[in-house]
Structure 1
Amino acid sequence: MNFGTPATHFASLPDQRAALDPHGYAVSDGRRSLTNDQLLHRVRAAARHLQDLGTGPGDVVALKLTNRVEFVLLLFAAWRLGATVTPVNPSMTDVEVARQLRDSGARLLVVEDGAAVEADDVAVLAVGALYEDAVGSDRAPLVDSSALALLIYTSGTTGVPKGVMLDHANIAAMADMGRRSLEVGPADRCLLILPLFHVNGIVVSVLMPLLVGASVVIADRFDPRTFFEVVERERPTFFSAVPTIYSMLAALPDEVRPDTSFLRFGVCGAAPASAELLTRFEARYGFPLVEGYGLSEGTCGSTINPVSGPRRAGTVGLPFPGQQLRIVDADGIEVAPGTDGEVVVRGPNVMRGYLGRPEETADVIIDGWLHTGDVGRLDAEGYLTLVGRSKDMIIRGGENIYPKEIEDVLAGDPSVLEAAVIGVPDERWGEVVVAYVQPRPGAAVDPAALKALCARSLTGYKRPTAFVVVEAIPKNAVGKIDKPSLRAAHAAHAALSAGPADPAGPAGPAHPADPADPADPADPADPAAGDVPSGATVTT
C-alpha cells in the first residue's frame, strides 16, 4: 500500500485511505472508533450536511468543539467542498468568539450540544445533529492546493488576534516534512492530547499520521494521574505535548512505573523545555522526548531534534527537511554560527499571510523569509538554541499570551490610567500572568471589578493571577513602559520573599486539568503573591 505521497491533497485523503485499506483503523475518541471505510462514509455525510446548510468553495466553517472525532470529520468535510476551517477555542468568551467569527467571515459555526451561543448572521449547528448517513449523490472532492485550508487565530503585538492563512500546499508540505523527520509510517499510532484548535494538534497529531496510513487516538482531557493508564490501554507509538505536561508526568510518585515499551518518542514543543527535564524524563520512562520549535505562521514546525540521529538537549534541533533557517542581525544580514540574532525561516510551509492585514504580513514575510521575532543562535552543526523571544510574549503551559490584549481590557476600567502585563516564572505553568495597574488621579482601583472585567473579556489562561497596584509604572528614556526593569524588580523581590531556605518557592501539587487546554482557568492559587516590588499592593 502506498500511503501519503507529498502530492496527496487532504480533501481526498479519506478516499485514498478507504481505497487502499478499507478495514484498517483510522481514528477514535473513546466514544466511537472508525475504520477507513467508516471515516469516508461519515466525511461524505458531514459534507452533505454542510452543503445543505449552504457551505461551498471559499466559505469559512468555524469549529468551536472539544477534541472529538467529529472535529476530524468536519475538517475533511469542509475541505471536500472547497471550504476553509477556522478552529475556535471552546473556552473563549462571547466577545472573543464574535470577534473571530466577524474577522474570518465565517458562515457556519459548529458547537457542542447544548452550548449557548450568540452568533449574529452566522448559522449554528449542534454537533450532535450532524448527518451520519449521506443522502443523494456524493460529489468528488475539490482538489486545489492554493485553496485556503485553515485560518488559525494567533495574537500579535497589537493585541488583536490575527488570522493566519494556511493553504492546502502549506499543510501538505508540513505534514510531509513531519513524516520524513519523525520517520512515521503506517505502523504508527498517535495519541492526541493537545487541543485541536491549535495547528500543532491538527497537523502533527492528526494530518501527519493519517497521511502516512497511521492511526489516531483522541484522548480525553489530560489528567496526569490517569494519563499512563490511557497510554497502556491504547498503546500509541508517539504523542505530542508541551513542557508543562511533561513536568507533571515527571513529578508523579516514584511508584508510577508504566509500560512504555511501545512508545518510540514524545514530541515536546510550544514552549522552551529545560535540558534537565528532557534528560530526567527519558531516564525515568524509557522513551526520548524530541524537542522542536515552530509557530502558526510556519504551519507548526521549523526545527526538531532527530528521532534517530543525535539529540541535543537544550537545543530545539535541526530544520525540518525542505525548510531553510537563518539567524540575522537587525539589518537582516546573516550572522555567523554562535552569534545571537533573529530566527528567520523559509519554505513551502510559510503562511500565505494574515487575513486582511497586508501591511502586517509584509512586516513579517520579507523576500520569502518569515521573521519570527524570536532570538536564537545556530551551532556549527546547525542545531538551533533559542535564547529569548522578542517583544513581550508570555507562554503559560504552552499557550501564547500577548500582554497588549490584556492591557487593553484593563484600560477599559475607568479607574485605571495605565496597565502593564508581564509573565512571571511559575513551576507548574512555566509562566503566569501578572498585571501592574496605575490608578487614575483621584481614583481607587477595585480589584474585584478588574477580575470580573477580565472574566468577561478574556479566556481563562489569559487572566492575571495577580493585580499589582503601583503609584507609577516605570518608563524608559523615550517614555515607553519599561518592562525589562519591571520584570527585574519583580524577580528581585521574589528572590527576597522566597528567602535562602527556599530559593525556588513552593511547588504546588500536580494539577489535574490540561495545561494545554485554555478551558482550564487561571490557577486559583496565587504563585505571584508577594513577588512584587516593595510598597505595591497585591490583589487576586
Structure 2
Amino acid sequence: MLNLSIVLEDSARNNPDGTAIVFGDMRLPYSMIDTVANQVANLLVSRGIRKGDKVALACPNLPYFPFVYYGILKAGATVVPLNVLLQSREIAYHLDDSDAKALFCFEGTPELPLGERGKAGFEAAEGCEHFFVLPATPLATESEYGESFWAALGGMAAEFETVQTAPDDTAVILYTSGTTGQPKGAELSHQNMLMNAIVSDRMFPATEGGDVYLGVLPMFHSFGQTTVMNTGFLRGATVVLMPRFEPGEALELMRREGVTFFAGVPTMYWGMLTKIHAEGAEVPGTLRIAVAGGASSPVEVLKDFEKTFGVGILEGYGLSETSPVASFNQPGRPAKPGTIGTPIWGVEMKLVDGDWKTVEGEGPGEIAIRGHNVMKGYYGRPEATAEVMHDGWFRTGDIATRDADGYYAIIDRAKDMIIRGGFNVYPRELEEVLMTHEAVSLAAVVGVTHESHGEEIKAYVIRTPGATITEDELMAWCKQNMAAYKYPRIIEFRDALPMTATGKILKRELR
C-alpha cells in the first residue's frame, strides 16, 4: 500500500492546527484540508468513481486545488490536472484522451472564463459523466455552469478510509505541453511522485520554526505540484498561494508572510529584480532557499539575484515525465551557476546520441535519465512511449554537456537548435551573451527560414527601462562579441515576449 495522499494525512495527524494554506485573509489548518479532501473522496465514491478511474481538475492556485487533488487520490483514482489556459476544444481533447470520468472546474473570472470553457469541453467529451463547479465566491452553493462543489459536498462524511493503492498504480497523468503534435499524458505512479517529494524534501534542511513556501508556480504543472505543494505538505510547511505572478505582489507576500522558500522560473526572478531596480521595491529578508527550473536561468540574472537577495538561486532540471526533478545544484556541494547540477538521490543520468549509444566525456549529447522518477509511459500511447524509453532509460530531447565533476549544463532543446549554413547554433548561448549588454533586459533567439542559409538567426529583445540603443547598434555589438556564423542578423525590439502559463518564453510563437 502506498498512496501519495499520505503527504497530507501525515501532517494533518502530526500537526492538525498548523497552517497549511494561506490565501488572502484565509488561513487554513492541515486538519481542514484533510477533512475537505475526505469529503471529496466520499463524494467521488458516491458518484460511482472507482479505484483507477481518472478525474480531471482545472483550477488555478486556490485552496480548492489541494482539497480536490488529495481527495481524488484518497479515493484511489488518478488526478488529471489541466492547464487553466486551455480552450474548450483542448479541454475536451484532454478529457477524452485521459478517459476522465469527472471534471472539477473553477468557475473562472471575467479575464479567465474557465467555467464557460470547462462546461463546453465537458459537454463535448462523451465519456465524462460528472461536472463539479468550484465557485469563485467562497462557499457559494449555486453556479450558472452546473453543480456547485459546496452543494455536492453537503452531507458528505468528514472521515474516509483511503483506498489501498500499490506503489506502481497511477497517481497523476501530467500532460506535456505538446510542442510536437498533440499533448501526451505522462503516467506517474504514487511511488514516482512520493519519492520525488521525499528526495526534494531531503535536499533542503528545514527552517527552525517552520518553513513558508510561496506557491506561485501553477500547481497543475509538475514543478509547482511536486516541489511546492507535495514537498511543502510533506514537511508540514505553510504554503502561501498566489494564483497569478505579479512581481510587486510576490515581493509583498514574501515580506508579509515571512517566506523562506521560493521556487520559480527564470522570468519570475527577472521580473522581481526589474521591480526592485526600477522602483526601489523592498527586498524581503526571510528567504533562505531559492530554486529555479522550467528553463535555463540567464547567468546575469543569477548574479544579480545573489547580489540583491544575499541568496543564490539553485538551478535544477526535470520534465513532467520525470515527476519532475531529475538533477539539482544540491546543498552541501558547490553550486555551479549556469549548470543543472548533478542527478538527485536514486537517479542516474547519461548523455546519448541519436542511436542511444552512450556519449563519453564532456559531450554534447542528449540527456537520458533512469530511476524512481521516470514515468510509466504515455497514457494510451505505446508507440510514443517506445520512442523515448529504452531499458528503463528515458531520453529527454535536451542537449547538454557534462564537466569533470559530473555537473550537467543544458545547451538547448534538441529542437530549438538552429542550423545556419551547416553550422549548429544554440540559441541559449547567444541569449546569454546578449544579456550581458547593459541595454538588454531579456532576450529570446530563434531560427527563421532563409533561402540560402536554411535558417537565419533572429533575436527578440526587451530593452532595459530608458535604454535608447537601436537595432543596428546592438547588431554591431553582437558582431564583435559572437562568431560570424552565430550573431543575429535580425533584431526586433519588443515590450513583452509571449509566455506559457508557467512563465516559459514561447519560442514557437516567435518563429
Name the structure 2 match of 1:244.
267
Pair 137,500 (structure 1): closer, same or farther in 2 beyond 3 Å? closer
CA distance in 1: counterparts of 2:323 and 2:443, whole angstroms: 24
Name the structure 2 match of 1:320.
344
Structure with the bigger RCO (C-alpha within 8 Å, sep 6+) is 1
Name the structure 2 match of 1:302.
326
2:106 aligned with 1:112: yes
Deviation per CA, 1:330-386: give whole Å up to 9, x if none: 343333332211111111110000011111111111101111121112111111111
Name the structure 1 match of 2:76.
82
Deviation per CA, 1:218-244: give whole Å up to 9, x if none: 124111122211110111111111111
In the TM superposition, 1:448-459 aligns within 5 A as: none
Pair 498,390 (structure 1): closer, same or farther in 2 beyond 3 Å? same
Pair 83,213 (structure 1): closer, same or farther in 2 beyond 3 Å? same
2:230 aligned with 1:207: yes
Pair 256,331 (structure 1): closer, same or farther in 2 beyond 3 Å? same
CA distance in 1: counterparts of 2:256 and 2:496, whole angstroms: 22
For the 8 Å contact 1:240–1:267, the answer to whether it is kept is: yes
Name the structure 2 match of 1:231.
254
Pair 35,518 (structure 1): closer, same or farther in 2 beyond 3 Å? closer
2:86 aligned with 1:92: yes
Which of 273, 279, 289 does residue 297 from structure 2 map onto?
273
Report the Cα offset of residue 156 of structure 1: 4.5
For the 8 Å contact 1:244–1:428, the answer to whether it is kept is: no
2:147 aligned with 1:126: no
CA distance in 2: counterparts of 1:309 and 1:41, whole angstroms: 41
Report the Cα offset of residue 150 of structure 1: 0.8
For the 8 Å contact 2:346–2:371, the answer to whether it is kept is: yes
In the TM superposition, 1:55-204 aligns within 5 A as: 55-113=49-107, 115-116=115-116, 117-118=119-120, 119-120=122-123, 121=126, 122=128, 123-128=130-135, 129-131=148-150, 135-136=156-157, 138-144=159-165, 145-156=167-178, 158-184=180-206, 187-204=210-227
Report the Cα offset of residue 135 of structure 1: 2.7
Pair 520,325 (structure 1): closer, same or farther in 2 beyond 3 Å? closer
Higher mean Cα deviation, 28-37 or 86-95?
A: 28-37
Deviation per CA, 1:246-280: give whole Å up to 9, x if none: 11122224353534331112111111112221011
Name the structure 1 match of 2:486.
none
Deviation per CA, 1:136-155: give whole Å up to 9, x if none: 47331013222211111114
Pair 521,240 (structure 1): closer, same or farther in 2 beyond 3 Å? closer
2:369 aligned with 1:385: no
In the TM superposition, 1:356-505 aligns within 5 A as: 356-392=380-416, 431=444, 485-488=454-457, 490=458, 498-500=471-473
Identity over the aligned pairs, expressed in percent? 30
Which of 329, 344, 363 does residue 368 from structure 2 map onto?
344
TM-score by length of 2: 0.78
Report the Cα offset of residue 62 of structure 1: 0.9
For the 8 Å contact 2:43–2:156, the answer to whether it is kept is: no
Higher mean Cα deviation, 348-357 or 223-232?
A: 223-232
Report the Cα offset of residue 497 of structure 1: 8.1
Amino acid at match of 1:76: Y
Amino acid at match of 2:65: F
CA distance in 2: counterparts of 1:519 and 1:263, whole angstroms: 21
Report the Cα offset of residue 126 of structure 1: 0.5
Report the Cα offset of residue 520 of structure 1: 12
Pair 522,18 (structure 1): closer, same or farther in 2 beyond 3 Å? closer
Name the structure 2 match of 1:470.
none
Name the structure 2 match of 1:517.
501
CA distance in 2: counterparts of 1:371 and 1:139, whole angstroms: 40
Unpaired runs of at least 5, structure 1: 1-6, 395-421, 437-472, 477-483, 533-540
TM-score by length of 1: 0.74
Pair 37,137 (structure 1): closer, same or farther in 2 beyond 3 Å? closer
Name the structure 2 match of 1:414.
none
Report the Cα offset of residue 474 of structure 1: 5.7
Pair 172,520 (structure 1): closer, same or farther in 2 beyond 3 Å? closer
For the 8 Å contact 2:103–2:131, the answer to whether it is kept is: yes
Higher mean Cα deviation, 82-91 or 246-255?
A: 246-255
Deviation per CA, 1:423-445: give whole Å up to 9, x if none: 997977754889x7xxxxxxxxx
2:45 aligned with 1:51: yes
Amino acid at match of 1:130: F
State the Cα RMSD in Å: 3.5
CA distance in 1: counterparts of 2:35 and 2:473, whole angstroms: 64
Name the structure 1 match of 2:3.
9
CA distance in 2: counterparts of 1:139 and 1:42, whole angstroms: 10
Amino acid at match of 1:386: I
Q: Secondary structure at the match of 1:250?
A: helix
Unpaired runs of at least 5, structure 2: 109-114, 136-147, 419-426, 435-439, 463-468, 479-490
Amino acid at match of 1:318: T
Q: Secondary structure at the match of 1:316?
A: coil
CA distance in 1: counterparts of 2:99 and 2:82, whole angstroms: 13
For the 8 Å contact 1:46–1:134, the answer to whether it is kept is: no
Higher mean Cα deviation, 44-53 or 249-258?
A: 249-258
Report the Cα offset of residue 90 of structure 1: 1.5
Count of residue pairs the alignment pairs up = 445
For the 8 Å contact 2:317–2:326, the answer to whether it is kept is: yes
Q: Secondary structure at the match of 1:190?
A: strand
